[in-house]
């Protein structure tokens, strides 16, 4: 069973085990430490617990009592105040089982129900077919390609812009 719940400091070892993997990190933004230690996970969990819940949505993904990943959404600023950017990852041994599709659907439903956010978007690297597919299965619409929108590991990368609107769901 896939369950989303708030982070707990006791999740730090599971979180570190999930994200301390170059196959996960190469698909994320830069800035996440590698190797990723348990103290790094403790820092992350502490910061999410101290964050303003109106601006930051952060949940641990639990499967059979174990934390196997993370899903979050971050309210944007200024004229983008009613938009939030979503990000997520899963421990590699759990890939391909439909877990993230369930997690993203649940997270989107909870955010639209409990906040005034009107739009949730995500920008996976265009090559990341699994992430694009997760978003499509969770009801996001492909809005276009952001050409060479990222520079990572020495090369420019296109990103795909996906979004879901509250008015489309509720
Ligand atoms: C991307 C990620 C979250 C997907 O999680 P997951 O639980 O494996 O995803 P799901 O099983 O719910 O769905 C994956 C879908 O992608 C498809 N897929 C996987 N690899 C694919 C590939 N190389 N080409 C095309 N489709 C692919 C699967 O077949 C599945 O679609 P289907 O149900 O129609 O068959 C996970 O792989 C991950 O954490 N990757 C590293 C971090 C990352 O990329 N985060 C997202 C950053 S935007």
Closest Cα to atom 15 of ligand 1: 130
Question: How many angstroms is it from 90 CA to the middle of ligand 1?
Answer: 9
Distance 74 CA to ligand 1 centre (A): 21
Handedness of CA 121, 123, 127, 131 (dihedral sign): negative
Q: Residues with beta carbon inside 6 Å of ligand 1?
A: 24, 27-28, 88-90, 95-101, 122, 124, 128-131, 133-134
- Given a cut of 70, the residues of the chain with pLDDT beneath it are 168-170
Q: Which domains does the chain have, with CATH numbers?
A: 2-169 (3.40.630.30)
pTM over 0.85: yes
Tell me: the pLDDT tens digits for 49-63? 999 999 999 999 999
């Amino acid at each position: 069973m896939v369950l989303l719940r708030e982070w707990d400091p006791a999740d730090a070892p599971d979180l570190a085990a999930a994200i301390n993997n170059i196959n996960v990190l190469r698909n994320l933004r830069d800035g996440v430490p590698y190797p990723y230690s348990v103290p790094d996970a403790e820092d992350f969990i502490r910061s999410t617990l101290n964050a303003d819940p109106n601006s930051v949505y952060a949940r641990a993904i639990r499967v059979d009592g174990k934390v196997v990943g993370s899903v979050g959404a971050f309210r944007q600023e200024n004229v983008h105040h009613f938009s939030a950017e979503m990000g997520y990852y899963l421990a590699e041994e759990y890939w391909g089982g439909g877990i993230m599709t369930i997690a993203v659907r649940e997270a989107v439903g909870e955010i639209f129900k409990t906040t005034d956010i009107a739009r949730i978007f995500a920008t996976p690297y265009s090559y990341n077919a699994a992430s694009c597919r997760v978003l499509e299965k969770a009801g996001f619409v492909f809005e276009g390609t952001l050409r060479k929108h990222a520079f990572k590991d020495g090369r420019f990368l296109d990103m795909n812009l996906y979004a879901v609107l509250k008015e489309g769901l509720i």
